[in-house]
Amino acid sequence: MRALTKQLGDVIPVPASVRPITDATFTIIRGTGLTCEPEVIGVAEFLSDALEKATGHPVPIGPGGAIRLGLDPSLAAEGYTLEITADAVTVRGGTPQGLFWGVQTLLQLAPDLPGGVIEDAPRYEYRGAMLDLARHFFTADEVKAHIDQLVQFKINHLHLHLTDDQGWRLEIPGWPRLTEVSGGPGTGVDGAGPGFLTLDDYAGIVAYAAARFVTIVPEIDMPGHVNAAQHAYPSLTADGQPVPQRTDAEVGYSSLVAGKEETYAFVEDVIRTVADLTPGPYLHIGGDECLSTPPGDYRTFLSRVLPLPGKYGKRVIGWHEIAAVELPENAIVQYWRIEAADENTARAALDGRRVIMAPADRTYLDMKYDADTRLGLDWAGLVDVRRSYDWDPADRLPGVGEEALLGVEAPLWSETLRSVADVQYLTFPRLPAIAEVAWSPRAARDWESFRGRVAAFGPRWDAAGVAYHRAPEIDWPR
């Protein structure tokens, strides 16, 4: 059995540099205090709350505390240093965000912090998770609780898939039927995932995420995946005739109509609204699986729609199908398929577009772990923990190397999900694996080491009531 004593490097994602001092340990006890520079009081409050929850006693903020938080502008923005001696723990970040990631490292090691120095910074600036609220809705409180789980692994973007054939999950002023009808009872796969985010709910998620240094990336999927919109507004169909609600998991049958002005009035209204509601830099317009959109119409549609996020101050992201058309200069392409190569994505990269790597055979959290997994799909194959860990984003697609990569994302589609426990089961422990791929230097990663480190989260997830998968390839402590 694995030793339960923590080593300084027992952290996920594994830090860039770890220098232990073997004879020193700092133990957080009743009376340990926290001192911070005034600019980082928010991070100090977060840490004080988290330590109180973890240890059962208050860790007050005030002068003379043995845990010290501050900034060091010589570090990378998301970088941090953590220095542990027998008498003090000092965390410094390049920015408050970097400090926040240092605090996550501290929390993973607490309450008995092994002595030494960690110097750390991320490999990629975009480290994402995606949650599909369209096939099954999750409430604002459920999304917030999910964010709390994600930030422990230094995930800094949460992509919300807000619209699809089965449901429309974000209130849009002026288009009330989108959510009244397509966010109402009976929506979602099998009719089992009703609900929608009000403007207040969405603002609440955005603020909650921002307080944890997470950027929300909203997706409005188009021109395909729009049955819910067309069901609510028949003026968006080709002949203006109503279409029935759909709760099956078919894809590719619906499309906005490229040759109709109503389409663009709707799309621009929605994009402007979502841009106004979203402080983050990105707006995702989908663009995937448009199997019923003729290629010419797809081009016409996208050539009008791709510039719209930019018009409203956002940088456009689309699934890699958008790389078939000419892209705005700052557009981002999200690769999701399982092919060994993709010409269009490679050409976009060559032309200077950035790529988010999310190949389904490595990063899709909705794939089954093994043939017996009760939840999930298997069209991209089975994805056990090792498959989600043992790959490299810079080797995944010819022509899409390190410089082209903005980062990595782990999408969770919700066709088979019915509860938060289902989300957790598919997310953990694969999300920590992908978080390490996205954060840690390639040379620092090692499957055997990860396998050991992830085991230590079992008891923590048990204590927190997180319904993780006890993957057989991990020696979970009993």
Burial 18-44 (b: 16+ CB within 10 A, else e): beeeeeebbebeeebbbbbeeebeebb
Nearest distance, CB of residue 44 and ligand TNX, angstroms: 40
Q: Does 366 bind ligand TNX (CB under 6 A)?
A: yes
Nearest CA among 196, 87, 212, 80 for reference residue 137? 196
Q: Does 219 bind ligand TNX (CB under 6 A)?
A: no
Q: Does 54 bind ligand TNX (CB under 6 A)?
A: no
Q: How far is CA 117 from the centre of its chain?
A: 29
Question: Greatest CA separation found in the chain?
Answer: 76
Nearest CA among 305, 135, 297 for reference residue 228? 135
User: Which residues are tagged catalytic?
Assistant: 289
Q: Does 377 bind ligand TNX (CB under 6 A)?
A: yes
Q: Is 381 exposed, middle or buried (0-12, 13-18, 19+ CB in 10 A)?
A: middle
Nearest distance, CB of residue 377 and ligand TNX, angstroms: 5
Nearest distance, CB of residue 367 and ligand TNX, angstroms: 7
Q: How far apart are CA 183 and CA 166, in angstroms?
A: 9
Nearest distance, CB of residue 136 and ligand TNX, angstroms: 11
The residue among 24 and 251 lying less far from ligand TNX, judged by its C-beta, is: 251
267 DSSP 8-state letter = H
Candidate list 119, 125, 268, 289; residue touching ligand TNX; CB under 6 A: 289
Q: Does 196 bind ligand TNX (CB under 6 A)?
A: no
Size of interface with ligand TNX, in residues (CB under 6 A)? 10
Phi, psi values for residue 269, rounded to 5°: -60, -45
The residue among 415 and 436 lying less far from ligand TNX, judged by its C-beta, is: 415
Q: How far apart are CA 147 and CA 427, in angstroms?
A: 12
Site for ligand TNX in 392-431 (CB under 6 A): 413, 415
The residue among 108 and 345 lying less far from ligand TNX, judged by its C-beta, is: 345
Nearest distance, CB of residue 429 and ligand TNX, angstroms: 19
Q: How far apart are CA 405 and CA 400, in angstroms?
A: 7
The residue among 153 and 319 lying less far from ligand TNX, judged by its C-beta, is: 319
Q: Euclidean distance between the first and final Cα of the chain, in Å?
A: 9
Site for ligand TNX in 310-329 (CB under 6 A): 319
The interface mask with ligand TNX, positions 325-354, x = CB under 6 A, is -----------x------------------
Give 71's contacts (C-beta < 8 A, 6+ positions apart). 37, 39, 40, 92, 93, 94, 95, 96, 99
The interface mask with ligand TNX, positions 249-288, x = CB under 6 A, is --x------------------------------------x
The residue among 211 and 251 lying less far from ligand TNX, judged by its C-beta, is: 251
Give yes or no for a contact between 120 and 11, defined as CB atoms under 8 angstroms apart: no
The interface mask with ligand TNX, positions 117-156, x = CB under 6 A, is ----------------------------------------
Secondary structure of residue 47 in the 3-state scheme = helix
Q: How far apart are CA 112 and CA 109, in angstroms?
A: 7
The residue among 309 and 411 lying less far from ligand TNX, judged by its C-beta, is: 411
* Residues near ligand TNX (CB under 6 A): 251, 288-289, 319, 336, 364, 366, 377, 413, 415
